[in-house]
Amino acid sequence: MIRLQQRSLYRFLADPFGRSTRALELDGNYIRTTRRGEVVSISLQSLATAPFIRKGMLGTALTISSSEYNDVTLKGAGHRDAHVFSKRVKDAWNRFNLAALEKEAARLDRVLAEVMSLAAPSRYPAACQIAPLLEQARALNESLLSKLNAEVIGRETVARIAPVRKFAGDPRTLRANGIAAFVTAELDRWKDFFDTIETKPLTPEQRLSVVVDEDATLVLAGAGSGKTSVITAKAAYLIKAGIRQPKEVLLLAFAKNAAEEMSKRVEARSGVPIVARTFNAIAYDIIGIVEGSKPALADHATDDMAFTNLIKQILKDLVDRLSDVSMAIIRWFAHFLVEPNSEWDFKTKHDFYTHMEAQDLRTLQGEKVKSYEELQIANWLYENGVEYEYEPVYEHKIPETGRRDYQPDFRLTESGIYIEHFGVRHQKMADGSERLVTAPFVDRDEYLAGMEWKRQVHAEYKTTLIETYSYERQERRLLEGLAEKLAPHVNLKPRPVETIYDRIVELNQVDEFSKLLGTFLRKFKSGGYSLQDCETKSDRMKLGKRARAFLDVFAPVFEEYQKRLEGRIDFEDMILRAAHYAETGRYDSPFRHILVDEFQDISQSRARLVKALKAQHPDVRVFAVGDDWQSIFRFAGSDIHLMRHFGQEFGGSFDGETDVHRSVDLGRTFRSIDQIAFAARTFVLRNPAQIQKLIVPAGTATEPAIRIVTVSKGEDKAKLAEVLAAMSAVVAQVVKPATVLLLGRYRFVEPDLRDLRRRFPRLKISFKTIHASKGLEADHVILLNADSGRTGFPSEIVDDPLLSMVSPEEEAFQNAEERRVMYVAMTRARHTLTILASKARPSSFVTELKKDPVYGIAALPGMELEEHGCGECGGRLLGVRGKDGRIWYRCEHVQHCGNLLPACQSCGAALPRRTDGTAEVQCGCGATYPTCPECEDGWLIERSGSYGRFLGCVRYPTCVGKAKISSGDRSAITKPRRQNRA
């Protein structure tokens, strides 16, 4: 034992109260000192460095650095004494570490061997495999290796322990190098296997996805990229390489037929007997193992139509039985079935009209109205038994005013009272006064003048006018105010809720709402949500009164649904119960590799089951194959969030990183040629949330591969036959018949296949909904009814914002899922894609494809009349042929805008348009006309009136623009002038 203590002089001058360390003793493997009356023992093992000496005016200070305590410093020691003590401590420290090194030799050898093996690993160095090694290396480095004195242990020992220390300091680089080395060697080692496992050799990307074996591996398998080949090869590789036993591999699919096909394919191609199972099957098995028997399955669990019909029946029974619930249900259909937006939520007429048409604002009486507020009024009248007409012609003939016949919004048939709803709100001015204002795109002065004119008409003809206003809805008193205003004039006779509900059924509104309820219910259960969760999220997302009205219906529907299970379970219950048993350890999983097909379709509950199985053993791997571009089963509970955040959800941990995973992009498509493959990729990636993927097409197109054919009303069958006839003519020149897949967003668009097959025997024609077409392909694909509307494409129902209450992540991009549905439709085609779309109401997707040249859509000459912008609302003026054979140009927003223009009088086909900087409109044929002084689109033609001939707008009586005929220019005006052409 050796002791070092302060000199008396220092103690007297600098530390008279004895607050600093006064003595240090080296006793065996410990250094002891007394601090504040407490004896402190510092082990040599905890020393980070040799003692540090610093000479000062009042003596020498010696500092001991330790991982166990803060630095201990003795000040005022004799310089020589401090050096002697320091050397003795250093020698003891070195002896201790050399002894410790000898003691840990076996452990060091084991860790060193494993670290060195990373240079050429025999197994993929997954995070779960290497993390324990890193933990051991760092513990060894911290407790021993980092404290060794290089001079004492010698260069040879320093070099020997260096790989362990390097790995402890930079494990990611060594693991990455190990992965690269393994993959290169493994691809070469298994080359023959990859060449022969399928009928065609696997691509480089497919081979890579098989040998990669991270804690979580995501294979991005685009349309036609051979995902089934990958999952087949992966299962066979795991067994043949001796990585797993068949019983340790869980192969999961979503559909029973897909699981059966996969099992057969794995065994046929590799001789490995692995049984693929559906999520439901493995969950059912887990329940049976834990409980000793399997509970009965609900009748509707395997039948989506039966499930929807059950929801419909529950709604009907609730209406019949429970008054409060029945009122909530009727209130939903009458006032919240569609998004409650008004013209105040839009900046342009075109945007407002487009939204209104997509919403299909149909009243309980059955007519379409022009605004949400009119819908509220009409449905209130219907609910309360007040008979009415919508937009009737006013009962009195008004003298010539230049206006259209006056049509008030509503006329109550029994009392003769008229109702006008005015789109005005209050605006507070700087001086504190208020004024009436209109929507952003409405001319305020013109609108207010129209209001006053209507009041004068009713006053003159002594008819009763009731007025309602947009500001009343803003103040939440629209319907209450209407009731008060009508009270003196009508007797309300509220219709029974059963009668109203029967009417709702007649309007086919229950079916789609039942599907929405069913989708919500499945996601609600699988995500483990509560009603309070939904209300909280609704408030946060500002979903408003519509969400509250929906939950008022959903809550009793869900309660009744749970009762009707009567001890049976549905698939959501099944998956969640199995996940719970795995999480709590009541089920002991034998699985070490979990392979999941069609991963983009996974739901929250299924993901929970996978995570529970993965958590049972530290070395379990998840291998997922899917394509987020084809995630189209939200209605069945799928949650794209899980694939987009795959690493966070399923990844392992290594070196402080918690989402360790690997992604492999298969890239190549064996199906679609370049024009289709690239257009589909561009289309789906307009949503920036979709995962970026490379595409290598199956071939190069020699002629336009994507065509859009516009269809006039009533021409659907004829246009389809025209397209098929053209295909049949081409096929007649080759030996092999061509396959043609007709696709529809909904089943109701299916044509008469028997007739089509009879007429076009050279074509193998089939029909599928787009959802049912997943996994299929055809030489030629024809997409039917690509129109706008609530049941159009994109469907306005599928992406209902209400579903965000039971989704962990809202999809902010408009029509996000429907865009993926369109991608699926496009990528069923090998050689050509033809899209049939309404000329008057084309899908927004069709408009996008036509307008953006990046898609390379073929413009077929002579197939359609030219389109022009509507000067009244910003929509499109579409060329249509009237019953008399004449061509007219009509605004696409027929119900709202009504802008209608005749074709040029000279050529009878084209539409004259304004020429910048002139007072004329000019037709493509060369004819010119004077512009109308009142409207954007019209031009003046000669007309006759009570005061003789004059120039009037072609849009009369919608527009009353006019001008006098100059006597010197009479002939030039009565006949359109033609420009001289060189």
Residue 784 three-state SS: coil
Report the DSSP beta bridge partners of residue 603. 638
Q: What distance in Å separates the CA atoms of residue 691 and residue 939, rounded to the nearest whole number? A: 51
| Residue 119 phi, psi dihedral angles, 5° rounding | -70, -30
Report the DSSP beta bridge partners of residue 943. 950
DSSP string covering 198-261? SSSPPPHHHHHHHH---SEEEEE--TTS-HHHHHHHHHHHHHHTTS--GGGEEEEESSHHHHHH
- pLDDT of 860 reads 54
Angle between helices 150-169 and 127-143 (to 10 degrees): 150
CATH topology classification for 202-283+591-665: Rossmann fold (3.40.50)
User: Residue 631 CB: number of other CB atoms within 10 A?
Assistant: 27
Binding residues for ATP are: 221-228
850 HSE (CA, 13 A, CB side): 19
Mean of the per-residue pLDDT values of the chain: 89
| Residue 875 phi, psi dihedral angles, 5° rounding | -80, -150
Residue 977 has pLDDT above 50, yes or no: no
- Stretch 771-783: mean pLDDT: 92
pLDDT tens per residue, range 41-61: 998 888 878 899 999 888 899
Higher pLDDT among residues 282 and 730, named by residue: 282
pLDDT tens per residue, range 338-383: 877 888 889 999 989 888 877 778 999 999 998 899 999 999 999 9
Question: H helices of 566-691, where?
Answer: 571-583, 604-615, 641-644, 646-650, 674-684
pLDDT band with cut points at 50, 70 and 90 for residue 401: low
Residue 975 has pLDDT above 70, yes or no: no
Out of 89-98, 474-483, 798-807, 880-889, the most confident range is 474-483
Residue 733 three-state SS: coil
Residue 672 has pLDDT above 90, yes or no: no
Query: Are the C-beta atoms of residues 220 and 230 closer than 8 Å to each other?
Result: no
- pLDDT of 919 reads 80
pLDDT tens per residue, range 119-169: 999 999 999 999 999 999 999 998 888 878 777 788 889 999 999 999 999
pLDDT tens per residue, range 384-396: 999 999 999 999 9
Q: What distance in Å separates the CA atoms of residue 305 and residue 418, rounded to the nearest whole number? A: 45
Q: What distance in Å separates the CA atoms of residue 196 and residue 208, rounded to the nearest whole number? A: 16
CATH topology classification for 674-855: Rossmann fold (3.40.50)
- pLDDT of 586 reads 96
Strands 652-654 and 59-64: unpaired
Residue 970 has pLDDT above 50, yes or no: no
Report the DSSP beta bridge partners of residue 583. none
- pLDDT of 21 reads 84
CATH topology classification for 2-101: PH-domain like (2.30.29)
Q: What distance in Å separates the CA atoms of residue 512 and residue 785, rounded to the nearest whole number? A: 18
- pLDDT of 323 reads 81
Higher pLDDT among residues 271 and 37, named by residue: 271
**Residue ranges of domains in the chain:** 2-101, 104-180, 202-283+591-665, 387-469, 674-855, 867-978
Residue 696 has pLDDT above 90, yes or no: no
| Residue 467 phi, psi dihedral angles, 5° rounding | -110, 135
User: Residue 747 CB: number of other CB atoms within 10 A?
Assistant: 11
pLDDT tens per residue, range 628-642: 889 888 777 788 889
Tell me, letter by letter, the H, E, C secondary structure of 394-419.
CCCCCCCCCCCCCCCCEEECCCCCEE
Alpha-carbon torsion, ordered 797, 801, 803, 804, to 10 deg: 150
Query: Are the C-beta atoms of residues 812 and 553 closer than 8 Å to each other?
Result: no
Residue 862 has pLDDT above 50, yes or no: no
Kindly report which listed range (70-74, 84-88, 165-169, 618-622) carries the lowest average pLDDT score: 70-74
Q: What distance in Å separates the CA atoms of residue 628 and residue 741, rounded to the nearest whole number? A: 23
644 HSE (CA, 13 A, CB side): 16
**Could you tell me which of 907, 840, 914 has the C-alpha nearest to residue 871?**
914
- Stretch 502-519: mean pLDDT: 90
| Inter-CA distances, 730 with 390, 425, 429, 862, Å | 52, 61, 70, 20
Q: Is it true that 2-101 and 674-855 share their CATH fold?
A: no
Angle between helices 279-291 and 604-615 (to 10 degrees): 60
| Inter-CA distances, 603 with 308, 526, 624, 643, 807, Å | 19, 7, 14, 10, 10
| Residue 805 phi, psi dihedral angles, 5° rounding | -70, -25
- Stretch 500-527: mean pLDDT: 90
**Vertex 443 angle, CA 440 and 448, to 5°:** 115
Residue 952 has pLDDT above 50, yes or no: yes
Phi-psi region of 276 (alpha: psi -120 to 50; beta: other; left: phi over 0): beta
Q: What distance in Å separates the CA atoms of residue 740 and residue 829, rounded to the nearest whole number? A: 9
End-to-end CA distance of the chain: 119
DSSP string covering 556-597? HHHHHHHHHHTT-B-HHHHHHHHHHHHHTTSS----SEEEES
Question: H helices of 616-774, where?
Answer: 641-644, 646-650, 674-684, 716-731, 753-759
pLDDT tens per residue, range 170-217: 999 999 999 999 999 999 999 999 999 988 899 999 999 999 999 999
- pLDDT of 403 reads 63
Residue 754 has pLDDT above 50, yes or no: yes
Residue 175 three-state SS: helix
Report the DSSP beta bridge partners of residue 120. none
- pLDDT of 377 reads 97
Percent of the chain predicted with pLDDT > 70: 96
- pLDDT of 562 reads 95
Binding residues are: 221-228
Amino acid, single-letter form, for residue 820: R
Residue 263 has pLDDT above 80, yes or no: yes
